[in-house]
Amino acid sequence: MAKKLSSVLGVDIGCHQVKIAEIKMQGKQPVVTALGMAPTPAGSADHTGIFNADAISAAVKQAIKQSGASVGAVVVSLAGQSAVLVRTLEVPRMTDDELREHMQWEINRNIPFTESTIVSDYKAIPNGNPNSANMDVVMAIAPQSAIDAVIACVRKAGKTVAAIDVEPLGLARTLHSNYDDMADKTVCIVEIGHKTSSINIYKGDHLMMPRQVLLGGELFTQEIAREYGIGEEEAEAVKREKVDLSGYSSVPAPMYGAAEPTQFGADPGQFTAYNPFAEVEADEPAPVEEPVEAPIDTTPQIDNSDRGRTYRALQPLLDELVSEIRRSIDYYRSRGDDVDLLLVCGGGGKLKGLPRFIQASTDIACDAMDPMRRLNVNARKLPAGFVEENKADFAVAVGNGLHAFYD
């Protein structure tokens, strides 16, 4: 950017909702002065990218009007499998000139797009040890058409693009601003969107490992719709009102020889098998047969309440989500580090009891991420309860708005 900004409109274009967060500097502190969201028009964007810039710009306008935001400088994030690739690499420690040459080679060999014109950038991640043999670098690659689509959305909405970012780095700003007590810890942010989920691991506020999986809130809604035989709009209401994952956990597949799992996990009971070759002393009297009592029914009781019913419908997806989180954390651990905290955000992450479910399933502390935890919110046009109900949706938009505070 040509000059330091004192206010930014952070924009997050999702395939279900468009979110905006206006942040202004007041003294040396960032203040949230507007928040807004509008539905993403059907067919205008999905998990691969933007298809209809006119429709998206109309949604951005709607969110701005709803919120009363007035800032003209926009920081917007690229998202979508066909729109951007974000990756971290471990490379030998080298000078800036050597790194520039090496990263050009890395970028050329990592281009996943068929489009020949691409835009790329990279940044070395400080690790606090200048004498280490290796260094981590985060790189981003995007086709020019994806850049053009995002710029068109913003311009058609009457705003100016100050910077284009990527979602994992926006989340890093939100993390750093609101969780400074975790500055020397490793945090995994699980952002559950409408069609995809991102699993990003940060050391302090530095992105160490970004990952995206094709599993989002839309699938949870569809499973509830199938279970109840209702439409997806009604299923959304059921998801908000009747899903409660508190007290449940995802049980890993049993190892060979382990007890057969029941609906609620492996049976903890143990028994001693009959051994026909066990020695019995000759002078020991034959055992007297005791009356046989009727066996106790240990069949798991099925919870037929709405809570149990919705859990059974969502269980396969929840198990898959936990498996992806475990896989990411296990890979990160293989590099010699560990994760101290899990944070859940995104519209699909608002399932009641989900952080407790993930914590019970991974044995790692987990909480719902609050993107306004340490920020002052002074927005005039917010309905009562809006922030508390929707704060999980704004983690990326707030991070984009915080661009003025950090960059």
Report how far Cα 140 is from the mean position of its chain's Cα atoms: 19
Give yes or no for a contact between 397 and 71, defined as CB atoms under 8 angstroms apart. no
How high does pLDDT run on average in the chain?
A: 87
In DSSP notation, 22-75 reads EEEEETTEEEEEEEEEEEPPTTSEETTEES-HHHHHHHHHHHHHHHT----EEE
Minimal CA–CA distance to 401: which of 18, 2, 11? 11
Least reliable range by pLDDT among 193-197, 247-251, 343-347, 375-379:
247-251
3-class state of residue 259 by DSSP? coil
Fold (CATH) for 182-258+303-369: Nucleotidyltransferase; domain 5 (3.30.420)
For residues 63-86, average pLDDT? 94
Residue 126, both tokens = 């400080």
| Buried b / exposed e along 117-155 (16+ C-beta atoms within 10 A) | ebebebebbeeeeeeeeebbbbbbbbbeebbebbbbbbe
Contact 91, 28 (CB under 8 A): no
Higher local confidence (pLDDT), 252 or 52 = 52
- In sequence order, what are the residues at sequence separation of 6 or more whose Cβ sits closer than 8 angstroms to the Cβ of residue 228? 234, 235, 238
Identical fold between 1-88+145-179+373-407 and 182-258+303-369: yes
**In this structure, what token pair is assigned to residue 38?**
């509008």
Burial (CB < 10 A; 0-12, 13-18, 19+), residue 354, is buried
Distance, CA of 229 to CA of 245 (rounded, Å): 21
Rounded Cα–Cα distance for residues 145 and 308 (Å): 46
pLDDT at res. 297: 44
Q: Domain segments of the chain: what residues?
A: 1-88+145-179+373-407, 182-258+303-369
pLDDT at position 132: 83
Single-letter amino acid code for the residue at 159 = K
Q: Per mean pLDDT, which range of 10-24, 48-62, 117-131, 332-346 is the poorest?
A: 117-131
CB 352, CB 246: distance < 8 Å: yes
Burial class of residue 81 (count of CB atoms within 10 Å of its CB; 0-12, 13-18, 19+): middle
Locate 76 and state its tokens: 């917007």
**Is the CB of residue 141 less than 8 Å from the CB of residue 120?**
yes
Mean pLDDT along residues 37-62: 95
pLDDT value at 316 more than 80: yes
Q: pLDDT band at 38, cuts 50/70/90?
A: very high
Residue 17 in this model has a pLDDT that exceeds 90: yes
Mean pLDDT over residues 311-335, rounded? 96
Average pLDDT over residues 307-331: 96
Mean pLDDT of 354-359: 97
Element (H, E) at 140: strand 134-143
pLDDT at 402 over 90: yes
DSSP 235: H
Among 376, 359, 371, 375, CA closest to 395: 371
Q: How confident is the model at residue 293 (pLDDT cuts 50, 70, 90)?
A: low
The two structure tokens encoding residue 159: 């705003």
Joined together, the tokens standing for residue 315 give 């269980």
- Give the number of other Cβ atoms within 10 Å of residue 90's Cβ: 12
Whole-structure pTM value: 0.85
Q: Quote the pLDDT of residue 148.
A: 96
162 or 292, greater pLDDT: 162
Three-state secondary-structure class, residue 119: strand
88 close to 210: Cβ distance less than 8 angstroms: yes
Q: Rounded to whole angstroms, how far apart are CA atoms 307 and 192?
A: 21
Three-state DSSP class for residue 313: helix
Confidence of residue 355 (pLDDT cuts 50, 70, 90): very high
Residue 218 has pLDDT above 90, yes or no: yes
Could you give the CA distance from residue 379 to residue 388 in angstroms, rounded to a whole number?
Answer: 13
So what's the architecture of 1-88+145-179+373-407 in CATH?
2-Layer Sandwich (3.30)
Give the pLDDT confidence of 295-306 residue by residue, as tens digits. 554 444 455 688
